Amino acid sequence: MSIPSSFVSRAVQATPPVLATRMRGLSDRAIAWLFIGPTMLLLLAINIFPLIWTIKLSFTNYRANRPNANVLDVGIDNYVSVLTDPDIWAAMQATAHFLFWTIALQTLIGFALAWLIDRKFRGHGFWTTMILIPMMLSPAVVGNFWAFLYQPQTGLFNYAVSFLTGVPASSFEMIGSVRLAPWAIVIVDTWMWTPYVMLICLAGLRSIPDYIYEAAEVDRASAWRQFWSITLPMVLPFIMLAVLFRGIENFKMFDMVNLLTSGGPGSATELASITLKREAFEKWRTGYSSAFAIILFVAVFGLANIYVKALNHVKNR
Amino acid sequence: MKTISKMLPGVIALAAAAALGLASTSVRAQDKTITLCWAAWDPANALVELSKDFTAKTGVKMKFEFVPWTNFADRMLNELNSKGKLCDLIIGDSQWIGGSAENGHYVKLNDFFAKEGIKMTDFMPATVTGYAEWPKNTPNYWALPAMADAVGWTYRKDWFAKPEIQAEFKKKHNRDLAPPKTWAEFKQVSEFFQGRMIDGKKVYGAYLFTERGSEGITMGVTNVLYPMGFKYEDPKKPYAMDGFVNSPDAVKGLEFYKALYKGSTPPGLTNAYMGEGLDAFKSGQVAMMMNWFAFFPGLFKDPNVGGDKIGFFTNPSDKGKGVQLGGQGISVVSYSSNKNESLQYIKWFANPEVQKKWQAIGGSSAAKSVLNDPAYPKSSPFAQNFLDSMGMVVDFWAEPSYAQLMLAMQKRTHDYVVADKGTAKEALDALVVDWKKVFKDDGKSMK
């Protein structure tokens, strides 16, 4: 698309002569820097500087609530403490359980829903909107109302399970049992975020040109064969993208779980982010929690990079 | 006369200037607004009412910042640590006193008390030690005792009085059904009510604190631990905890709390604190409820469970006595721009007449003038229980690292009581290890 010459001439006329003279003296590179400079400065101030500062703090015994205390350099002690702390590993295991099952369930159900919605049956627009509702809610609201739904005496969830299975409603506690609580948070996250995965998969399904299926029909490929050979490979980059987004989001999951279980019972649902928050802003072990934050950052950043490489590989096939 | 007439214009000018000065001072006072920060609960509403008198008297307007209990410590300690100016006055929890004093968040009040003639001997000793002093048991004051509180118990007097229930209990335990005085009696009573049908509804024995996130389960379990012999440290060797925190008596206490939790509480009580307890009691779910005395005036007035239907009792005893201290002192925040007005508020609040009104409208005074008044024990159905409790209160650590110490106890006790992780001995041994680590990091000698 070319810019109309009248537009250019109007812009030239509108530029004050002093500015025009100054700009004329600048190279393209300098003008480019002029434009991206403020953004770069902002990024440095709100992203890079805090990161560097956190790295610096992670090698000290600094506590933000003790401004008058001596700050000592402790070398890699904080990192050693984090990596040898059984409570941290318990939190990492809880996080891994949460990550694996939420991603697996959301991908499976999200893709299945997208596939169904893509059939374009009567009223599919209405059902798409209905399915998207949980995703639009605030995690704080979701955490609070699922706490009521899981209530063993009055909660709808327990009654639904009781109705379907015959197990007495007050005989099990979804958020009070060490065995069930990790599944309780998986169920809530899956309920909330499956629509998001569905939307991405739906975009993928609708990007497949119809002529490919028509050609497959001509070749008398079965529906199953079409699914394995056309649908799945072409949607795979979209599914992988959804997995990446959900993985990063759930690795730092805090609000919903904190409101639903506060990390309990005991520490059964204490995810890494809840542990990090307790260390940083309740116990005020700033140096220690900085080290933990850096370890988490490196883990997410490293895994995400490997994953993006795999995603690009799939896309370029 | 001539001299006076010569001076007259000057005198008039001076008088006018003084009048103008006074007027402007008054205008300034009326322009001033101070913010008081506290938890959002019934007594806070009473304080709003009470403070109207302060504004009427001084012209200083009051603003209030009330935060729900479960977020109170988080929110307010963040505010103090970041040297925020949100609060001029803060009614902070008793356990914050060490950290707030050592980190310079609170104004030291000794000189002010001396100047204004405010004596700490006018307040109940337990509240002075608990809410005002740091280091403990030294005359260094950082707060004025504001809200005396402790854990107490309510029970359904109407259920206890039912003849068929009385008869069945007597047949089973060979004694009259009455508010329990010991933990053994408590267990009998709570298990007796557990799962019983009363007025066509299934009810449960007792409500206990089990909250995991802030301080709930610790504030609950200690009411069994203290009477059974738990001690925070060797009375002769500060910070020496082995054999005290994890003594056989303490282990027995923790096992007992778990037995109560498993056998006497409603289902779903895995993360519950004061609010959930009030809901459970008001909805007629439990026969007995653990909660802070501060809620009892409101409960007594409740149309469904108050009045004749409700009774109160003091925390049961075992080999000894003890109950968890609650309550708070009022402090001036060091970062406030309105320190003078805030100190003015404290001076006003310390007045015996104000303390009397504070008690009358739903607060809980710590002043001896109120609590030692001969009429006080009969002033409410729980007043005598409150006095008894104040005579045996024990508080959690008030060290600068209180939050770390609290979170460790929350984790270890919740892991054992609610999450069935390990044994009581293992939980308390682990707690000793956690606490030693905190004190070691703080440079405390534990020899």
A265 → closest Cβ in B77, B266, B419 = B419
3-state secondary structure of B276: helix
**Interface contact B419-A261, CB threshold 8 A:** no
More confident residue, B10 or A254: A254
pLDDT of residue B360: 92
- The token duo for B229 is 């012999």
Q: Are A235 and A204 in contact (CB under 8 A)?
A: yes
Domain count, chain B: 3
Q: Determine whether the interchain pair A265/B81 forms a contact, defined as Cβ–Cβ distance below 8 Å.
A: no
In chain A, residues 180-239 whose CB comes closer than 8 Å to chain B:
none
Residue B178 pLDDT: 96
Q: Which residue has the tokens 């003296």?
A: A25
Same-domain status, B97 and B44: yes
Does residue B253 share a domain with residue B233?
Answer: yes
Which of A151, A262, A266 is opposite residue B213, by nearest beta carbon?
Answer: A262
User: Between B77, B104, B267, which is nearest A152 by CB?
Assistant: B267
> If you average pLDDT over every residue of chain B, what do you get?
91
Q: How far is CA B193 from the centre of its chain?
A: 29
Same domain, B180 and B295: yes
Whether B218 and B73 have beta carbons less than 8 Å apart is answered as no
A186 and A308 co-located in one domain: yes
Same domain, yes or no: A53 and A143: no
The reply to whether residue A176 touches residue B418, judged by beta carbons under 8 angstroms, is yes
- Inter-chain contact B99–A65, Cβ cutoff 8 Å? yes
**Hey, how many other C-beta atoms are within 10 angstroms of the C-beta on A145?**
15
Residues A152 and A260 placed together within one structural domain of the fold: yes
Q: SS3 for A211-261, per residue?
A: HHHHHHHHCCCCHHHHHHHHHHHHHHHHHHHHHHHHHHHHHCCCHHHHHHH
- Dist. CA B137–CA A299, nearest whole Å: 49
Are residues B144 and B157 both part of a single domain?
no
How far is residue A55's CA from residue A49's CA, in Å, rounded to a whole number?
Answer: 10
- Across the interface, of A68, A264, A284, the residue whose CB is closest to B270 is A264
- A40 and A87 in one domain? no
Which chain B residues in 188-217 lie under 8 Å from chain A, judged by CB atoms?
211-213
Q: Helix or strand or coil: residue B55? A: helix
CB pair distance less than 8 Å for B74 and A67: no
pLDDT of A15? 73
pLDDT, tens digit (0-9, with 9 covering 90-100), for A161-177 = 999 998 888 888 898 88
Verify whether the Cβ–Cβ distance B268 to A151 is below 8 Å.
yes
Residues A141, A146, A148, A154: what is their CA dihedral angle, to the nearest 10 degrees?
150
Taking an 8 Å cut-off on Cβ atoms, the answer to whether B268 and A173 are in contact is: yes
**Measured distance CA(A58)–CA(A48) in Å, rounded:** 15
Q: Are residues A42 and A81 in the same domain?
A: no
* B346, B332 Cβ separation under 8 angstroms: yes
Nearest CA among B67, B285, B267 for reference residue B193: B285
Residues of A in contact with B268 (CB under 8 A): 151-153, 155, 170, 173, 176
Q: What is the pTM for the complete model shown?
A: 0.81
Specify if A66 maps to a domain.
no
Which CATH number do you get for residue A249?
Answer: 1.10.3720.10
Q: How far apart are CA A79 and CA A177, in angstroms?
A: 32
CB contact under 8 A, A173 and B270: yes
Interchain CB distance below 8 Å, A178 and B103: no
Q: In this structure, what are the phi and psi dihedrals at residue B389, rounded to the nearest 5 degrees?
A: -65, -40
**Optimal mutation site among A149, A284, A285, A286, interface B, most CBs of chain B within 10 A:** A284
Q: Is A151 in Cβ contact with B403 (below 8 Å)?
A: no
B314 and B242, same domain (yes or no): yes
Does the CA dihedral B103-B107-B109-B115 come out positive or negative? Answer: positive
Cis ω before A265 (30° cut-off from 0)? yes
Tokens of B374: 């001969």
Quick check: is A32 in a domain?
A: yes
For residue A92, the distance in angstroms to the closest alpha carbon of chain B comes to 17
Question: Which residue range(s) make up the domain with B309?
Answer: 151-324+401-441
Give the residue on B whose Cα is nearest the Cα of A173.
B268
Q: Are residues B46 and B164 in the same domain?
A: no
Output the six-digit token pair for A223.
């529906």
Contacts of A309 (CB under 8 A, 6+ apart): none
| Domain annotation covers residue B98 | yes
In chain A, positions 69-108, which contact chain B (CB-CB < 8 Å)?
Answer: 87
Residue A68 within a domain:
no
Which one of B82, B283, B418 would you mutate to disrupt binding with A, by most A Cβ within 10 Å of its Cβ? B418
Q: Closest by alpha carbon to A107, among A202, A12, A198? A: A198
Cβ within 8 Å, pair B271-A265: yes
Q: Does some domain include residue A65?
A: no
C-alpha A285/C-alpha A190 separation (Å) is 33
Nearest neighbour of A282 by CB, restricted to B211, B403, B418: B403
Gap between the Cα atoms of B302 and B110, Å rounded? 41
Q: Mutating which of A151, A171, A283 best tests the B interface, going by the most B Cβ atoms within 10 A?
A: A283
- Has residue B48 been placed in a domain? yes
Q: Name, in order, each residue with C-beta under 8 angstroms of B326's C-beta and a sequence gap of 6 or more.
A: B94, B149, B150, B151, B219, B292, B293, B294
pLDDT in tens, chain B (447 residues): 444 444 444 544 444 444 444 444 444 455 789 999 999 998 999 999 999 999 999 999 999 999 998 789 888 988 998 899 999 999 998 889 998 998 899 999 999 999 999 999 999 999 999 999 999 889 999 999 999 999 999 999 999 999 999 999 999 999 999 999 999 999 999 999 999 999 999 999 999 999 988 899 999 999 999 999 999 999 999 999 999 999 999 999 999 999 999 999 998 888 889 988 999 999 999 999 999 999 999 999 998 899 999 999 999 999 999 999 999 999 999 999 999 999 999 999 999 999 999 999 989 999 999 999 999 999 999 999 999 999 999 999 988 888 899 999 999 999 999 999 999 999 999 999 999 999 998 888 766
Closest residue by Cα to residue A201 from A298, A122, A106:
A106
DSSP, collapsed to helix, strand or coil, labels residue B407 as helix
Q: Express each pLDDT in B125-153 by its tens digit.
A: 999 999 999 998 899 999 999 999 999 99
Task: Encode burial over A10-20: b for 16+ CB neighbours within 10 A, e otherwise.
Answer: eeeeeeeeeee
What is the extent of the structural domain holding A23? Answer: 5-57
CB within 8 Å of chain A, chain B residues 140-199? none
Interstrand relation of B151-156 and B197-198 (parallel, antiparallel or unpaired): unpaired
Q: What is the pLDDT of residues A236-247, one digit of tens each?
A: 999 999 999 999
Identify whether residues B163 and B199 lie together within a single domain: yes
Residues B298 and B345 in one domain: no
What is the total count of domains within chain A? 2
* Whether residue A208 sits in one domain with residue A104: yes
Same domain, B341 and B320: no
Q: Looking at the partner chain, which of A178, A264, A281 has a beta carbon nearest the beta carbon of B78?
A: A281
Q: Do residues B285 and B203 touch, judged by C-beta distance below 8 A?
A: yes
Whole-number pLDDT of residue A312: 87
Task: Give the list of residues 6+ apart from residue B359 with CB closer than 8 angstroms, or none.
Answer: B365, B370, B379
Predicted complex ipTM: 0.72
Does A125 map to a domain?
yes
Whether residue B446 lies inside any domain: the answer is no
- The pair of structure tokens assigned to B286 is 């439990």
Kindly identify which residue of chain A lies nearest to residue B72, measuring between CA atoms: A282
Task: State the amino acid at position B396 in one-letter form.
Answer: F
From A65, which residue of chain B is nearest by alpha-carbon distance? B81
Cα three-residue angle B433-A82-B420, rounded to 5 degrees: 50
Angle, nearest 10°, between helix axes B424-441 and B402-417?
A: 170
* Domain shared by A35 and A90, yes or no: no
Helix or strand run (H / E) with residue B359? helix B352-360
Size of interface A-B (CB pairs under 8 A): 86
Is A70 within a domain? Answer: no
Mean residue pLDDT across chain A: 90
pLDDT tens digits along A17-65: 776 666 667 888 888 899 999 999 999 999 899 999 999 999 999 988 8
Q: Is residue A16 part of a domain?
A: yes
Q: Got the DSSP string for chain A?
A: -PPPHHHHHHHHHHS-HHHHHHHHTS-HHHHHHHHHHHHHHHHIIIIIHHHHHHHHHTTB---TT-TTSPP-B-TTHHHHHHHT-HHHHHHHHHHHHHHHHHHHHHHHHHHHHHHHHTT--TTHHHHHHHHHHHHHS-HHHHHHHHHHHT-TTT-HHHHHHHHHH---GGG--TTT-TTTHHHHHHHHHHHHHHHHHHHHHHHHHHTS-HHHHHHHHHTT--HHHHIIIIIHHHHHHHHHHHHHHHHHHHHT--HHHHHHHTT-STTTT--HHHHHHHHHHTS--HHHHHHHHHHHHHHHHHHHHHHHHHHHHHHT-
Q: Measured between alpha carbons, how far is A145 from B165 in angstroms, rounded to an integer? A: 37
Is B240 inside a domain boundary? Answer: yes
Angle at B188 between CA B182 and CA B190, to 5 degrees: 100
Residue B443 touches partner A, C-beta closer than 8 Å: no
Specify if B44 maps to a domain: yes
DSSP structural state of residue B308: G
Residues in B closer than 8 angstroms to A265, CB to CB, are 212, 270-271, 414, 418-419
Same domain, A35 and A161: no
Do B63 and B90 fall into the same domain?
A: yes
B35 close to B64: Cβ distance less than 8 angstroms = yes
Tell me, yes or no, whether B382 lies in a domain. Answer: yes
Q: Which residues touch B243 (CB under 8 Å, ≥6 apart)? A: B234
Q: Are residues A161 and A211 in the same domain?
A: yes
CA nearest to A266 within chain B: B415
Residue B268 is part of a domain; what is its CATH number?
3.40.190.10
The nearest CA of chain A is from the CA of B193 a distance in Å of: 17
Give the pLDDT confidence score for residue B19 in this predicted structure.
Answer: 46
Name chain B contacts of A151, Cβ cutoff 8 Å: 268
CA distance B418 to chain A (A): 6
Cβ contacts of B426 within 8 Å, gap of 6 or more: B416
Residue A316 has a pLDDT of 77
A68, B103: Cβ pair inside 8 Å? yes
Which among B103, B212, B404 is the nearest to A262, CB-wise? B212
pLDDT (tens digit per residue) in A199-241: 999 999 999 999 999 999 999 999 999 999 999 999 999 999 9
Question: How far, in Å, CA of B201 to CA of B284, rounded?
Answer: 9
Residue B447 lies in a domain: no
Taking a C-beta distance cutoff of 8 angstroms, is the pair B131, B145 a contact? yes
- B293 and B185 within one domain: yes
Is A66 an interface residue toward B (CB < 8 Å)? yes
Is some CB atom of chain A closer than 8 A to the CB atom of B103?
Answer: yes
3-state SS class at B49? helix
A68 reaches B (C-beta below 8 A): yes
Instruction: Say if residue B212 is in the same domain as residue B229.
Output: yes
- Is B136 a member of any domain? yes
Q: Are residues A53 and A81 in the same domain?
A: no
Same domain (yes/no): A140, A202: yes
Q: Judge if A234 and A185 occupy the same domain.
A: yes
